[in-house]
Amino acid sequence: MIDILSLENDFEAVIFDCDGTLVHTPPIYADAWSAGFSLSGKAMNQAWYLLRAGMSEGVLMDAFEREFDIVLDRKCVIAAMRSHFLQNVHKVREVRAVAATARRLSGLLPMAVASGGSREIVTATLQATGLRTYFDHIVTIDDVVNPKPAPDLFLQAAALLGRGPAQCVVFEDSEQGLESARRAGMSAIDVNRIDFREQQCEMKRGDSFQMNA
């Protein structure tokens, strides 16, 4: 059992995924990728993207090419997608309970964001939501060779934080992200299994909140 409200007693560093974990970006990404993929003449619906939310840009484009048996002009697709996303970054909202945990731990433990997104988008997202100030380091797909579920992103974050994998706990929302944390040798919290209403009530009461890792 991992006690969400006493992480500072059990771990020496915390690493957060960004999209779907700290911030609710999948609908905005879905519209942005739809705009990018439309350059190929093929339509992408939101449901197709949401089944693959959390994939890095390269992995998602691999999937789209297989799905439609085409070859994308990847530079153009990425440019269009990122431009659309950044034009709508003001619409991004934080995942309140996870963001509240980051705020609570700020100054108590070193913290990083490790995201499969691009540095441009991740940085803009965290700045737009006011969350950037809480993190010591930001690691993105631009900083490593292999995307999740490889452990590269989390291992790089731990190295920057000066902690070993066993000393870190990860907040994640996707299966590939959780697998990445496992491969990195880190404890992981699936944010989809947190009862946010219960956590918020207990944070107000100052009680303990626990969940299975």
The DSSP code sequence of 106-172 is BTTB-EEEE-SS-HHHHHHHHHHTT-GGG-SEEE-GGG-SS-TTSSHHHHHHHHHHT--GGGEEEEE
Residue 197's pLDDT is what?
53
32 neighbors 85 (Cβ within 8 angstroms): yes
Residue 209's pLDDT is what?
38
Residue 44's pLDDT is what?
95
Region of 20 please: left (phi>0), alpha (psi -120 to 50) or beta. Answer: left
CA dist., res. 73 & res. 28, Å (int): 22
The pTM assigned to this predicted structure is 0.87
Residue 126's pLDDT is what?
98
pLDDT tens-place string over residues 137-180: 999 999 999 999 999 999 999 999 999 999 999 999 999 999 99
User: Is 17 among the catalytic positions?
Assistant: yes
Write out the two tokens for 193: 């299994």
CA dist., res. 96 & res. 117, Å (int): 20
Residue 210's pLDDT is what?
41
Write out the two tokens for 114: 């490790």
Catalytic residue among 10, 17, 136, 207: 17
Spans in the chain with pLDDT lower than 50: 198-213
Residue 62's pLDDT is what?
97
